[in-house]
Amino acid sequence: MATPTLDKVEDAKPASAPSPYITVTFRIRRYNPEISSEAEWQDFPIEIDPKERVLDGLHKIKWETDGTLTFRRSCAHGICGSDAMRINGKNRLACKTLIKDINPEKPITIEAIKGLTVLKDLVVDMDPFFQAYRDVMPFLITKGNEPTRERLQSAEDRERFDDTTKCILCAACTSSCPVFWNDGQYFGPAAIVNAHRFIFDSRDEGGEQRLEILNDKDGVWRCRTTFNCTDACPRGIEVTKAIQEVKRALITRRF
C-alpha cells in the first residue's frame, strides 16, 4: 500500500519532510464462531502516521487488508460510545486513542472488552449492560401535576450532578471492573453513574426508589473501590466517587 504521490513529493525535497509514516503492528484478538470456537491473536503490520488514532488503524486494516475484521464504531469522535475496546490491556475508546500515545514500537494489542459475551472479533453482546442501565430507571420521575412552565433549577443544583451527565454509555468502566468480570449480576459502575445523575437531581423525585434498587445485594455494596472504572472512563467522570456518594446517601438515609 505504498503511496506513490507522497513518495514523489518526498523525493523532491528529501531533507525537509521526512515521511510521517511508521510501521505499527496491531495484534488483534480475532474470534469468529462460524469458523472456530477458539479466539486467537492475529498480527497486522500497517503503515500509519502515529498521530492518527487506533480507530484509523482498524479502518485501514478493514478497508485495505482484511474486510472480515469486525468492530463497532459510529461517530469516530468520542460521542456515541460504541468503540470501547481493550487496547494494550486498558479499556479505551479507539477513536480517542492516538497511536503515538501508546508506544507504537511494540505490537499494540486490541481485544474486546471483558465480562460480556464476545459475538465476533471486537463486538460484544451489550444487552446485559443495558439491562442493568434500564434497571436503575434512568429517566425523570416526578409526582403531581405537570407544571405549566419549565422545571427551574439553580446553577448550584445543576452543578451537583454535572459530572455524571457526561456519560456516553460506552461500557468501558463496567467492563474494566474485576467484580463485574466474575459476577455479571453486579449492576456495574455505568448503571450506578446514571442512577447518580438522577438521584442528585433536585427536580427528580424517584431518588428513593433508585436508592432502594442500588441497595440490592448486587448493587453499590459490591464495589471494592478498585478505581479501574475511574481510570477507564474516556469522559473523565469520577466514577468511583459517584459510587461512594450513592453509598453515603444510602447510609445517611438510614441513620
Partner 1 sequence: MSAETTSAVGPVEGERLYDVDNPAPLIEPPRKRTKKSPKTARTNFELYGWLFMRLSGIVLVVLVLGHLLIQLVLDGGVSKIGFAFVAGRWASPFWQTWDLLMLWLAMLHGANGLRTVINDYAERPTTRFWLKNLLYTATVFTVLLGTLVIFTFDPNIR
| DSSP 3-state of 142 | coil
From residue 183, how far is each of 164, 180, 186, 218, 230 by CA, in Å?
24, 5, 6, 9, 19
68-87 binders of ligand FES (CB under 6 A): 73-76, 78-83
Quick check: 113 binds ligand SF4 (CB under 6 A)? no
Quick check: 172 binds ligand SF4 (CB under 6 A)? yes
Quick check: 91 binds ligand FES (CB under 6 A)? no
Quick check: 43 binds partner 1 (CB under 8 A)? no
> Distance between CA 188 and CA 49 in Å, rounded?
36
Please report how close the Cβ of residue 67 comes to partner 1 at its closest, in angstroms: 9
Please state the φ and ψ torsions of residue 223, each to the nearest 5 degrees: -70, 130
Quick check: 57 binds partner 1 (CB under 8 A)? no
Q: How many other C-beta atoms are found inside a 10 Å radius of the C-beta of residue 25? A: 15
| DSSP 3-state of 174 | helix
Total residues at interface with ligand SF4 (CB under 6 A):
16
Let me know: does 1 contact 16? Beta carbons within 8 Å: no
Take residue 235 and report the three cell numbers written for it: 469522559
Please report how close the Cβ of residue 176 comes to partner 1 at its closest, in angstroms: 14
Q: Which is nearer to ligand FES, 81 or 188 (CB)?
A: 81
Query: Which of 218, 231, 241, 244 contacts partner 1 by CB under 8 A?
Result: 218
Q: Which stretch binds partner 1 (CB under 8 A): 3-11, 18-26, 145-153, 218-226?
A: 218-226
Query: Which of 3, 6, 17, 36 contacts partner 1 by CB under 8 A?
Result: 36
- Distance of alpha carbon 137 from the chain centroid: 21
Give the binding site for ligand SF4 (CB under 6 A). 167-173, 189-190, 193, 232-235, 237, 239
